[in-house]
Structure 1
Amino acid sequence: MLLSEAWDKYHSDKRIEGYSSLTLKMYGFQCNLLKRYFGDIRICDITTENLKQYLVEAGEHLKPSSLGHRIRFIRSLFKWTHEEGYILKNPAAKLKEPKLGKRIPKFLTKHEIEHPRERCHTPMENALFEFFYSTGCRIGEVAKINRDDINFTGNSVIVHGKGDKEREVYFNIRCAIWLKRYLEEREDNQPCLFVTERKPIRRMSIDTLRHIVKRISNRAGIKKTIHPHQLRHSFATHLVDNGAPLEIIQSLLGHEKSETTRIYAHLSGKLRHDFYSKYF
Structure 2
Amino acid sequence: MKVKSIIGKLEASIDTFLEQKKHLSEYSIRNHKLDISKLIFFLNENLDQEFNLDLVRKFISELRKSTSKTSIRRIISNVGTYFEYLIDQEKIEKNFFSEISPPKIGKKLPSIATTDEIDEMIRCIDKSKNLGKRDHAIIEFIYSAGLRVSEVNNLNIQDIDLNQNQAVIFGKGSKYRSVIFSESTSKILKDYLEIRDNSKKEKAFFLSNSGVRISIRSIQHIVKKYISLAGLNPKYHTHTLRHSFATHLLDGGADLRVVQELLGHTSPKTTEIYTHISVEKSRDVYTNAHPKA
Output the TM-score relative to the length of structure 2.
0.85
Q: Which residue of the other structure, out of 137, 149, 172, is the alignment partner of 1:162?
A: 172
Counterpart residue number, 1:11 = 18
Give the gaps of 5 or more residues in structure 2.
1-7, 127-131
The answer on 1:48 being equivalent to 2:48 is: no
Of 243, 262, 269, the match for 2:253: 243
- Is residue 32 of structure 1 aligned with residue 37 of structure 2? yes
| Aligned pair partner of 2:103 in 79, 88, 98 | 98
Tell whether the 8 Å contact from 1:3 to 1:41 is kept in structure 2 after alignment: no
Offset at residue 78 of structure 1 (A): 1.4
Aligned to 2:264: 254
Residue 84 of structure 1 and its aligned partner are, at CA, apart by 3.4
Partner Cα distance (2:43, 2:273) in 1: 38
Q: Structure 1 residue 57 and structure 2 residue 69: aligned?
A: no
Q: Offset of 1:12 from its aligned partner? A: 2.0
Distance 2:39 2:46 in 1: 10
- Report sequence identity in percent: 31
Aligned length: 272
| TM superposition shift of 1:240 | 1.2
Residue type of the alignment partner of 2:182: N
Moved over 3 A (4+): 223-226, 269-273
**1:205-234 Cα shifts (integer Å, max 9, x gaps):** 001111111121121123445321010111
Change (3 A) 1:40 1:10: farther
Cα offsets for 1:163-196 (capped at 9, x unmatched): 2110111121221111100101224232211111
Match in the other structure for 1:206: 216
Which one of 115, 123, 143 corresponds to residue 118 of structure 1?
123
Distance in 2 between the 1:50 and 1:82 partners? Answer: 19
Paired residue secondary structure (1:14): coil
2:112 paired with 1:107: yes
Paired with 1:190 and 1:6, the residues of 2 have a C-alpha distance of 34
Q: Determine which of 155, 158, 174 is the counterpart of 1:145.
A: 155
The reply on whether 1:71 has 2:76 as its aligned counterpart is: yes
Give SS of 1:178's match. helix
TM-score (norm 1): 0.89
Name the amino acid aligned to 2:102.
E
The Cα shift of 1:119 comes to: 1.1
